Structure 1
């Protein structure tokens, strides 16, 4: 492994990019060029004018990356804005992550807010917070727990899709439950369970439309179950292709 110098910033100033070992920002830093490092930790404020590549990224303060981000692991406890695409193998978002392009990775766990302008592609997508996705949310397994605010995606596709409201919700939240929604134009998967979801079209093998849902059209191949207080305007069973 090549030797790299570490960079620790405790005050404020502008620095050149390049290849580093660990980069720690405890103050205010502006990095003029693309950054390539092993570990990038931000506890103050940082701005990178270019792409960022790191083995891991931890944001406890405020980070702005004007280009793309590529990392194996990202932990976002503060706010992080990425101007381009984000390629993150494993992420946990407890603060705010904004992506100006598309997001891709193996596992995304959202407990804060994820805002992506284009598509999200992952193996596993878990949300116990809020997300706003302009394009397609596509993952093998999608597990969404609706809590306080609505989440939206242009379309949602996956093998197993589960959308539930939080268990043990308080009386106040129960009063506002109609505002705690998932909204998408289309949802398509193999096994689908939905609560408090508004969608134009839902397609799948086995579908359960739970409480609080409003769906215009449901197309299923094997099983369909609709809760008493859910609204499905049109439904159709399609033949199973052998």
Structure 2
């Protein structure tokens, strides 16, 4: 079984067949998981912001979500999301499959009562699958690699914050760093593909409007999910 973690718009797209909705108790809380099939492949999907879209980024229970996936036998998890672009030279919309991240603020970990250090990062095999698949079937430009800067949220970043972090990263979001850290602590392979739907605050003199971000992310979510669906099949064929 392969895991998928998506944003709010994944609920608006008919993704799975033979769907079974489950609430899974974990040592870290309850996780909501949709189990089903994509073209014959068993998958488990988690909507990171909840079925009611009521979990802002700083309140997502990443530990419960990824522990639930592992308890179902998932070894490979693909994330998908929407990010702000930090580079003026990128045309939008684009797809980015980051190869590193900066996350100074979330502090997420499973290890609150023991001294254990993991080396964080995205899984290179899953990254390669996502890049290969995106370049084969997407009409969007595909950026292989780059740094994802995670802010805490739920507020958007100030113009001054973007002016600083654009020197160190290529895109900005609120979840993928935390997901990658928890996945690594649980021994799960994880990589993320993101649509870059808008320029971050101040890039190209852009003034960020949340409603406009949501509109653009909704438009591009289906393209991202199409790639993830094909990537799931590739992982199944190559690893199972």
With structure 2 as the length reference, what TM-score do the two structures score?
0.24
Relative contact order (C-alpha < 8 Å, sep 6+): which is higher?
2
User: Counting strand residues as a fraction of each chain, which structure ranks higher?
Assistant: 1
Higher helix share: 2
